[in-house]
Amino acid sequence: MTTVSTPVWGDSRISALDDDEVRRIRTDFPVLDQEINGKPLVYLDSSATSQNPRSVLEAEQEFYEQRNAAVHRGAHHLAVEATDAFEDARATVARFVGVADDELIWTANATAGLNLLAYSFSNASAGNVGGGAERFALKPGDEVLVTEMEHHANLIPWQELCRRTGATLRFIPIDDAGALRLEEAAKLVSGRTKILAFTHTSNVLGNINPVDVLVRMAREVGALVVLDACQSVPHLPVDFKALDVDFAVFSGHKMLGPTGIGAVFGRSELLNAMPPFLTGGSMITKVTMEQAEYLPSPQRFEAGTQAISQAVALASAANYLSETGMERVALREAELGQRLVTGLTAIDGVRVLGPAAGEERTGLAAFDVAGVHAHDVGQYLDELGIAVRVGHHCAQPLHRRLGLTASTRASTYLYTTTDEVDVLLEAVAQIRPYFGVTATGGKA
Amino acid sequence: MSGLDSLYQQLILEHSKARTGGDLAGLPALASGTAGTGESHQLNPVCGDEITLRLSVGVNADGQAVSEIHWHGDGCAISMASASILSEIAPGMPTGPFHHTIDHFRELMRSRGKLEADEELLQDAAALAGVAKYPARVKCAMLAWVAAEDALRQAESGVE
């Protein structure tokens, strides 16, 4: 287990964002400057959706005020400007995750991205082959391997793909601390494994999975690797080429961008061999009444009018993050994650899910308060202006494995102050007394 | 914390822990088509709260009335307290007024705090009136009542 003192992205010359810088950053985020129930808003739900800096909001508005037109069609001046803005946005976001422009497909969000992949594979399985598409086809006897910690978005599309194709879905189990049981993974990966899909960092546990180890296992058997990078791209420096994955997905609204935009990365030779999912306008070369031929990636997967202004705004968000420095954001959030796990663990009756204090963790902590339901925890915190996520966080199997139906999750971002973490910790310490739960001393 | 205190009144916190009413977990499964008894399972997919409630109808001096309620559930203080209070006030209540009580409780919960609770009708359940100001929690309070309404409908129809 890597410790926080030597993070995987570590470069000793780079320092974490400090409190003064965070206070300056906060002035860029209008929504943070408000009171809830007479208390300053403490926004600790960025893993659900992040807030937007003014520059991102202005980028979207500027597009509508000055350049709005349909892209990749029409020859008038605005259409050219809009197309340039749209493709420049793609180049910016592609660069942000270390891939080539034509390897980045716009989607509505990470969920849509995973469904795009599952349905494209499904189309290959249904006989839409040729041009190398057969390598994506699944049949009875083939296996899709996921993990027990997946968000429903990286589980259900594969369940459905297996149901449609007759392939078998299997999963890599986790241990009680939430870590992947790699010795089990090594047994599960075999020549039958066609797809290995897993999350880079868990939205509940806050751990960082060993991508290199899993990619090596997949490569040995020729399986395709799909990475759910929804919680990593916003918070860590991520380079999909360096990680050597075949596909990856992420969402714009979790990385300071607007809702309605996200992306799929795919290696170019794979994308150009893969059957399309959504078909229609803007993704074709030649159409007759009987059939159509398709454009190469990325247009191949972008039928219909795209979320143009959102793409432009997402590029602005990527620039904001790049200018701040993703290494510095990651180091800052690692500090906040440790402050959370250390402080929460010290509270009687509170159990933090995932890595223990001192072990590598991103800036989030999901926890259980013994004797108090997560919804009541969230209600108590909301009264104090503290916004957290409560429930199963779209990871029911993971919660069940950890013996829970729901938990409370606090998650940070580059605008989170250490004071805010401390406000949360003080509040959580008052919850069991408020609900009259007598001290059991029992930390589950 | 006056807002929060109005939501989590002492009575509610006590009920959430005491959970009055018969424990369904100890009873044998209901045979399908058992006349006069209904059972309903309700789940709130947002938070995972769930309840299974069994309700029987019998005949007393006032005619047809709720005779007993057993339930088993897992959830937040609001949903568990609501189930506990319901199981305390319903037994002995004639089925007509019980339907009326459920309807009033639902209206109250959906009123966003604009409706006054009929304390005579709701008895201790009037303490849940504060929930109406928290739209995200209305489903928690309603869970047991939806189960009771469904179980009552089955019990009255005499078939499962």
Average pLDDT over residues B61-75: 91
What is chain A's mean pLDDT, rounded?
94
Walk me through the domains of chain B, giving residue ranges and CATH numbers.
Answer: 3-157 (3.90.1010.10)
Q: Note the pLDDT tens digit of each residue in A353-368.
A: 999 999 999 999 999 9
Give the residue from A404, A354, A344 showing the smallest Cα distance to A374: A404
Per-residue pLDDT tens over the stretch A169-180: 999 999 999 999
Note whether A435 contacts B: Cβ–Cβ < 8 A: yes
Residue B63 belongs to what H/E stretch? strand B63-74
- A chain contacts of residue B75, beta-carbon cutoff 8 Å: 373, 375
Please state which of the four CATH numbers 3.40.640.10, 3.30.70.940, 3.30.420.10, 3.40.720.10 is assigned to the domain occupying A56-323: 3.40.640.10
Q: Identify the helix (H) or strand (E) that includes residue B155.
A: helix B138-157
Mean pLDDT, residues A76-101 taken together: 97
Give every CB contact of residue A276 below 8 A, 6+ residues apart in sequence: A120, A123, A283, A294, A300, A301, A303
Q: Partners of A210 in the beta sheet?
A: none
Q: What is the pLDDT of residue B80?
A: 95
Tens digit of pLDDT for each residue in A299-342? 999 999 999 999 999 999 999 999 999 999 999 999 999 999 99
Secondary structure of chain B: what % helix, strand, coil (to 5)?
A: 50, 20, 25
Measured between beta carbons, which residues in chain B are less than 8 angstroms from residue A392? Answer: 47-48
Chain A residues lying within 8 Å of B7, measured CB to CB: 379
Residue A224, Ramachandran bin (φ over 0: left; ψ between -120 and 50: alpha; else beta):
beta
Of the residues A211, A223, A394, A402, only one is catalytic, namely A394
CATH of domain A19-43+326-435: 3.90.1150.10
Task: State yes or no: is A394 an active-site residue.
Answer: yes
Of residues A296 and A6, the one with the higher pLDDT is A296
Cα separation of B85 and B25, whole Å?
A: 18
Q: Express each pLDDT in A147-206 by its tens digit.
A: 999 999 999 999 999 999 999 999 999 999 999 999 999 999 999 999 999 999 999 999
CB contact under 8 A, A383 and B49: no
Instruction: Pick the residue of A35, A37, A204, A379 with the most B CBs within 10 A to test the interface with B by mutation.
Output: A379
Chain A residues closer than 8 Å to B138 by CB: none
Residue at A3: amino acid letter: T
The tokens describing A166, both together, are 């007759």
What is the pLDDT, as a whole number, of residue B158?
60
In angstroms, the first-to-last Cα distance of chain A is 23
pLDDT at A435: 95
Locate the domains of chain A by residue range. Answer: 19-43+326-435, 56-323
pLDDT of amino acid A161: 98
Q: What gap in Å lies between CA A198 and CA A207, rounded to an integer?
A: 13
Which pLDDT score is estimated for A440?
A: 55
Give strand pairing partners of A146: A171
Q: What is the mean pLDDT of residues A122-137?
A: 87
Q: Do B47 and A391 touch (CB under 8 A)?
A: yes
Is A416 within 8 Å of A32 (Cβ atoms)?
no
Contacts of A8 (CB under 8 A, 6+ apart): A2, A208, A360
Confidence of residue A387 (pLDDT cuts 50, 70, 90): very high
Judged by CB atoms closer than 8 Å, whether chains meet at A436 and B74 is answered as: no
Query: In degrees rounded to 5, what are phi and psi of residue A105?
Result: -105, 135
Q: Which residues of A351-390 are buried (b: 16+ CB within 10 A; e: fewer)?
A: bbbbbebebbbbbbbbbbbbbbbbbbbbbbbbbbbbbbbb
From residue A88, how far is each of A84, A96, A319, A323, B38 by CA, in Å?
A: 6, 12, 12, 17, 63
Q: Are B8 and A372 in contact (CB < 8 Å)?
A: no
Question: Residue A12: pLDDT above 80?
Answer: no
The enclosing H or E element of A125 equals helix A110-125
Omega of the bond prior to A237 within 30 degrees of 0, cis? no
Residue B95: name the closest of B57, B145, B139, B127 by CA: B57
pTM above 0.90, yes or no: yes
pLDDT at B1: 45
For chain B, give the number of residues: 160
Tell me which residue of A146, A169, A174 sits closest to A159, measured CA to CA. Answer: A169
Is A375–B47 a contact, with Cβ atoms under 8 angstroms apart? yes
Instruction: Report pLDDT for A10.
Output: 57
E strand spans, A259-320: 262-266, 284-287, 292-294
Confidence of residue A415 (pLDDT cuts 50, 70, 90): very high
pLDDT of residue A2: 40
∠ CA A90-A91-A97, nearest 5°, is 90
Is the CB of residue B67 less than 8 Å from the CB of residue B155? no
Q: What is the pLDDT of residues A58-71, one digit of tens each?
A: 999 999 999 999 99
pLDDT tens track for A238-258: 999 999 999 999 999 999 999
For residue B124, the Cα-to-chain-centroid distance in whole angstroms is: 12
Q: What is the pLDDT of residue A92?
A: 98
What's the rounded Cα separation, in Å, for the pair A420 and A239? 30
